[in-house]
A = this chain, B = another copy of it.
Amino acid sequence: MSATDERHISKAVISRLPRYYRYLGELLTEKVERISSNELSRRMHVTASQIRQDLNNFGGFGQQGYGYNVKYLHTEIGKILGLDQTYTMIIIGSGNLGRALANYVLFEKRGFKVTAIFDVNEDLCGQEVRGIPIRNSKELAEFLDSNKVDIAALTLPSSGAKVICPVLVAHGVKAIWNFAHTDLDVPEDVVVKNVHLSESLMELSYMLNRQRRE
């Protein structure tokens, strides 16, 4: 598949790929070799036609009457998601959320290796989380200049995130995983994925209220 083919794939499809990847991974663990779109549909609670449409975006991996080859599809979706590569990640903010991310061993299994945690609190510097050193935020620029960093996770308050973001950008970080409760202003060649927890909670309260009224 060429990069050009991908240009027109909608955000909605992309956002569904990690879920396919998870289910296919579970099937692999269960030693299932192939699966029909109908069976996958039953497991994932999405329509078989949606599954066929989604996977057709990538040239389709299925054969009529045979179903999908689980291992092949898992590998190919992994490649599309970039999971055939490894990434170095730093975490800015060593509070509970930063520590939670640093402790997720699964990320490392998927190829995301956390190499450092930064914090403005000098008392924490020199401590470690799962063997990963907490460094002084003042050393961030120097660290970025002498170490390859693919992804920076921002787990600090909004005000701090706004200060740190330009430093990351100026020193070559191209992907930001932003947990701060603000939108970041970055150049076009930097990608940002926001995880705004309080907004997620508001969506849940909306859903709960609508449900109560029905």
B110 in contact with A202 (CB, 8 Å): yes
Determine the chain B residues whose CB is within 8 A of the CB of A132 once the complex forms. Answer: none
- How many identical subunits does the complex contain? 2
B82 in contact with A206 (CB, 8 Å): yes
Determine the chain B residues whose CB is within 8 A of the CB of A189 once the complex forms. Answer: 211
Please tell me the size bucket of the interface on A: 35 or more
B210 in contact with A6 (CB, 8 Å): yes
Q: A163 on the interface (CB 8 Å rule)?
A: no
Q: Which of A49-57, A67-75, A115-123, A190-198 faces chain B?
A: A190-198
Q: A99 on the interface (CB 8 Å rule)?
A: yes
Determine the chain B residues whose CB is within 8 A of the CB of A209 once the complex forms. Answer: 82, 85
Q: A97 on the interface (CB 8 Å rule)?
A: yes
Q: A19 on the interface (CB 8 Å rule)?
A: yes
Determine the chain B residues whose CB is within 8 A of the CB of A6 once the complex forms. Answer: 210
* Contact residue among B14, B104, B174, B198 (Cβ-Cβ distance under 8 Å from A208): B174
Residue of A151, A191, A200 most packed against chain B (CB within 10 A): A191
Show the binding face of A for B, using Cβ within 8 Å.
Answer: 3, 6, 14-15, 17-19, 21-22, 44-45, 80-83, 85, 87, 95-97, 99-101, 103-104, 106-107, 110, 112, 150-151, 174-175, 177, 181, 183, 189, 191, 193, 195-214
A-B contact pairs, 19 of them (CB 8 A): A14-B206, A18-B200, A19-B199, A22-B181, A44-B183, A82-B205, A82-B206, A83-B202, A87-B205, A87-B208, A95-B103, A96-B96, A101-B197, A104-B197, A112-B201, A151-B208, A177-B204, A191-B204, A193-B200
